Amino acid sequence: MKSFVSVALLFWSGAAAAQVEPSANLPSAVPLASTPLAQTSSTGAIVIYRGSSIMGAALGCPIRYKGHEIVELGRGKFAEWAVPAGRYILVNGTASVEVSVLPGETRYVRCQIKTGFLTGRADLQIVDEESFAAHRADYVQKPVSSPF
């Protein structure tokens, strides 16, 4: 029983640590106005998507940057976010991912619902363009909210 409690405490402290706001010296981001990506020589983009899997159909996948919700993705949704080149730490309730964007570069992040203890949990993963492009026609775009 003690080991179960210890593991539960470690899990909860890890989940709390994933929600810690990143340092204030990270670059600010600009929401994307339209598709295709509106990039300049000093900006890049982050495409965040969630597949159409039945797993976790009732769960949303809220994506936050510096404590502000950028977008909440349901099944089969994606969002494109134009950002200045730099480092971004995207978080949700159970996971985080660091995304480094170079000028003119587009990075892809997938939100995947996995099984959890009592309910599913959202996992964030950096993926390649081909993973997104294979199902792009099946996804519906959602607007990005500016955290600033």
Question: In 3D, which of 48, 134, 139, 137 has the Cα closest to residue 90?
Answer: 48
Residue 121: how many CB atoms within 10 A of its CB? 19
pTM of the model: 0.67
What is the reported pLDDT for 75? 85
Q: Give the tens place of pLDDT for each residue, 47-106.
A: 999 886 655 555 778 899 998 999 998 888 999 999 999 999 999 888 899 999 999 999
What is the reported pLDDT for 74? 85
Q: What is the mean pLDDT of the chain?
A: 74
DSSP 8-state secondary structure symbol assigned to residue 43: E
What is the reported pLDDT for 135? 86
What is the reported pLDDT for 48? 92
With bands split at pLDDT 50, 70 and 90, how would you rate the model's confidence at 23?
very low
Q: What percentage of residues in the chain have a pLDDT greater than 90?
A: 38
The pairing of beta strand 77-84 with beta strand 43-50: antiparallel
Q: Is 122 helix (H, G, I), strand (E, B) or coil?
A: strand
Quick one: average pLDDT of 33-57? Answer: 68
Domain boundaries, the chain: 2-141
